[in-house]
Structure 1
Amino acid sequence: MNTKTIKLLLQPPLLLAIILLLNSCNTPKNSTTKETKSAIYPNDVIPFMSEWSILCGDGKNIKDLVNVEHKEFFYVSNDGKTNWVVYKTPNSGVTSPNSGNTRTELGQKKHWTPETGGKLTGTLKVMHVSTSGDARVAASYSVVVGQIHGTEGHQNEPLKIFYKKFPGHKKGSVFWNYEINTAGNNDKRWDYSTAVWGYDMAVIGTSPASYPEEPKDGIELGEEFSYEVNVYNGIMYFTFTSKGHATKKFTKDLTKSSFAKYADIPQQVLTLFAAIGRDGVEKENAYAGELQNFKQGAYNQTNGKAPETNIVWSTGSETYGGDIAKQYANGCYAEVWFKKATLGAGTLSKKE
């Protein structure tokens, strides 16, 4: 570079321009586009996911739920205020070996006996239940949002927590069922249903498209409620709460049957289950000593099976030949959102 050129470059205005240009090359540029946010997974919302596996409505079984989602079935959604874990499942898909109903439902990895116990809580809102079904069938238009499930013996269910809403109704019902641990032939098993808010399971229609009167104290779709299931020393204590509704508490002994004799069978059961020949009695020690685990999510109770085959559980719902996208598009699915849930050891109840 000759002397003339050097003098030219050292002129104050030109020197300043060169400095600014060089400085701009080393300064990070401000992007006009927003940075992509990190994905939010169900375990970010409810951190107990490492203690569960999940079976989804398309048959996908996921053993490790840390930083995992399965779109259209198990994922996070925000309602404008809060992140929620979504469990969604169609009327027809892939089911577990012992059920004809689909589920997107957590299954607890740890198993326990009623004597050992455990505790499960959940705060949720049901966003949708199937709008197709047969009103005469008790299971129609319903979803199970929490349960205790046997993992040995008959593998029956000492607790199922339901939400059910008839088409055209604004309010639905929350109720819980106890399934007997049958003495002898398990084909005689049945559920006894107890209302929490609204009706119990036995309130049904008189024809496929006739519905009972809407429950006055029911729970709407999208309305929050909470449950706590606490099993301690063989006794199941559970509490249901919801803003604007009376708190409800129940107790059930899982180690001593209330239904060990035919005379003990409630009239509700004889009326509802007589048509399918289920009038068995329970083992005197009920579920004592048998392994159980908790389940939570959306266990759809609607299916495409003909009501004539089982007027209690076969709901005759639309399934679009198993096409999940069509079921979702036409209201043939269940969807449940949870914002809080905990899992732990059973604790001494204040009732003891």
Structure 2
Amino acid sequence: MTLLSISNTKIKIALSLVLLAVMLLSPMFLSEFRLGLLGKFLAFAILAMGLDLIWGYTGILSLGHGVYFGLGAYGMAMHLKLAASQGGLPDFMSWSGVETLPWFWVPFQSAGAAVALALIVPMAVAFVLGYLTFRNRIRGAFFSILSQALVIITVTLFVGQQGWIGGTNGLTGFDTFLGLKLGESSTKLALYYVTVVVLGLTLLLCLWLAGSRLGKILVAVRDAENRVRFIGYNPVAYKVFIYCVSAGLAGLAGMLFILQEGIISPAQMGIVPSIEMVLWVAVGGRATIYGAVIGAIAANAAKTTFSEAYPEWWPIIMGAMFIVVTLFLPKGIVGTLKDLFEKWGRSRQALAPTAAVPAPGPLGYTELEKPQ
């Protein structure tokens, strides 16, 4: 094992330990409000890791991941709304003249079914879109445009269904989940730690996928899809699979988000949030997994800080920050740090003393090679 590979391993271990320590110790230093914000940022990080798998490793730039995030959030919100209604119709349905519970709401009466559907529905939508587009070899900017069209269609559909899913107002007014009151401090703390655990498991899953044979094929698809096809692999199957995994992680992030935020509306799954999700990965660093986590937390923390300190200027400040990162840190935070450590490792390896080679004897043998 070379000095460079040892350094990379040490960096990953150190980064993992630092992230874990920060997340576990945060409740000791943050207020309840700030801890709630961090919990939502960690949910965003789960989505960002899935987006890094398809963009950083596979080269699929999706500008519609807000849809999958929203579908997961709506799935959990529907269960929470039914629990708050205590067997009756949700309030917005009564106001809209709906007399019976729509058929597609019935499965969400069960918490287990709600969790399953919040994962399955985004993955099913991703499968349909991915299969139809990747099979027809639609990629690059054309796929990005199609993913934005999906956002427009979904948001328009949700906004127009006031009586069925709350329309523009979305779903809110939740009280309990599994018998726990969502407003209590102990419940909020428990949800935060659940998010930390899910984030850790997702990180391990994404690192395993990226480092496995599957990850190498995904990188090959990104760099030379036609060559992958010519040597006998089917890029469509790999792209559809990883796209569905990414959509499932987005749905999972939406579930954790709604439990801590308490509201979901069509605006939160629109084009602007979808583009912001891509920027999280760009800020942290593509094809690094860790960069997706750091980028999601850093970008959202900066957004919150600037919006509080400079309510009129924060969009301009955020835009300037993204421009600076794009121009001067094209590989993102983690990618840039990785390059610096690799240069440092190569310089140390070059300066490392080498073992002296014995001088050859009269017959051309060294003392170590001389036959006995």
Which is richer in helix? 2
What is the TM-score of this pair, normalised by structure 1? 0.24
What is the TM-score of this pair, normalised by structure 2? 0.23
Which is richer in strand? 1
Larger RCO of the pair (alpha carbons < 8 Å, separation 6+): 2
Larger Rg: 1
